[in-house]
C-alpha cells in the first residue's frame, strides 16, 4: 500500500475548513500563517520528545507505538496546514515512484541532525518564503517517519483518516 498524500491533504483541508466554520474561527491570513508555523514547530518538538533519542545517559522510556503514530499524524497535519495556507499544496503530493525512492533510503546516521535540518528548512520556509526549503523539510519529515521510525503507510493513513472525522 502506498501513502495517498493527495487524499490525506484534501481531507485535512476539508476538516480544517469545516472545523473553522463550525467553531466560527476567524483570523487574519498573516496571523493564521504564523499560528500554523507555531503549531508545526510544537508538533515537531512533541514528536522528537516521544522518540527521545536525544536523552543521553538516561534510561529510554518505551514509546507506545500508537502514540508515536498519532503524534506523527498530528505533525503531518501541521505540514498540510502550512502548505495549504501558503498555497504550496503541490509540494506535498508525491507519486508512487517518489515515495518508493524515499522509502528505499538508508536510516539517518544522526536523528539530531535530521531533526535540526527539518527545523532549519521550516524556518527558511517561513522567514524567507522558500518553497524549496519547505519541500526539503517535508521530504525529510516523510523519511523520518517511513524509514527511521519504521511507520507504515497503512497505519499512517488509518490514523490520519480517523483524525479527520468531525464529531460535532
Count of domains for the chain:
1
Nearest to 83 by CA among 115, 44, 53, 125: 125
Residue at 28 is within a domain: yes
> Residue 1's pLDDT band (boundaries 50, 70, 90)?
low
Residue at 102 is within a domain: yes
> Residue 60's pLDDT band (boundaries 50, 70, 90)?
low
* Percentage with pLDDT > 70 across the chain: 96
**Mean pLDDT in residue range 30-52:** 95
Residue at 168 is within a domain: no
> Residue 2's pLDDT band (boundaries 50, 70, 90)?
confident
Residue at 122 is within a domain: yes
Asked whether the beta carbons of 137 and 51 are under 8 A apart, the reply is no
Average pLDDT, the chain: 92
Cell numbers at 87, concatenated: 498555497
* Model pTM score: 0.91
Per the structure, the complete domain to which residue 66 belongs is given by 5-163
* Percentage with pLDDT > 90 across the chain: 74
Residue at 52 is within a domain: yes
Residue at 59 is within a domain: yes
**Residue owning grid cell 496571523:** 31
Distance CA 81, CA 75 (A): 10
Amino acid at each position: 500500500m502506498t501513502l495517498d498524500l493527495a487524499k490525506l491533504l484534501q481531507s485535512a483541508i476539508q476538516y480544517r475548513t469545516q472545523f473553522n466554520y463550525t467553531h466560527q474561527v476567524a483570523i487574519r491570513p498573516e496571523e493564521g500563517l504564523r499560528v500554523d508555523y507555531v503549531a508545526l514547530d510544537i508538533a515537531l518538538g512533541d514528536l522528537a520528545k516521544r522518540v527521545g533519542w536525544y536523552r543521553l545517559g538516561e534510561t529510554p522510556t518505551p514509546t507506545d507505538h500508537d502514540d508515536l503514530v498519532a503524534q506523527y499524524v498530528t505533525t503531518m497535519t501541521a505540514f498540510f496546514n502550512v502548505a495549504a495556507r501558503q498555497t504550496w499544496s503541490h509540494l506535498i503530493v508525491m507519486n508512487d515512484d517518489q515515495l518508493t525512492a524515499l522509502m528505499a533510503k538508508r536510516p539517518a546516521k544522526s536523528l539530531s541532525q535530521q531533526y535540526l535540518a527539518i527545523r532549519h528548512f521550516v524556518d527558511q520556509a517561513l522567514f524567507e518564503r522558500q518553497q524549496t526549503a519547505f519541500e526539503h523539510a517535508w521530504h525529510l519529515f516523510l523519511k523520518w517517519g517511513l524509514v527511521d521510525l519504521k511507520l507504515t503507510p497503512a497505519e499512517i493513513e488509518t490514523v490520519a483518516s480517523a483524525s479527520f472525522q468531525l464529531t460535532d
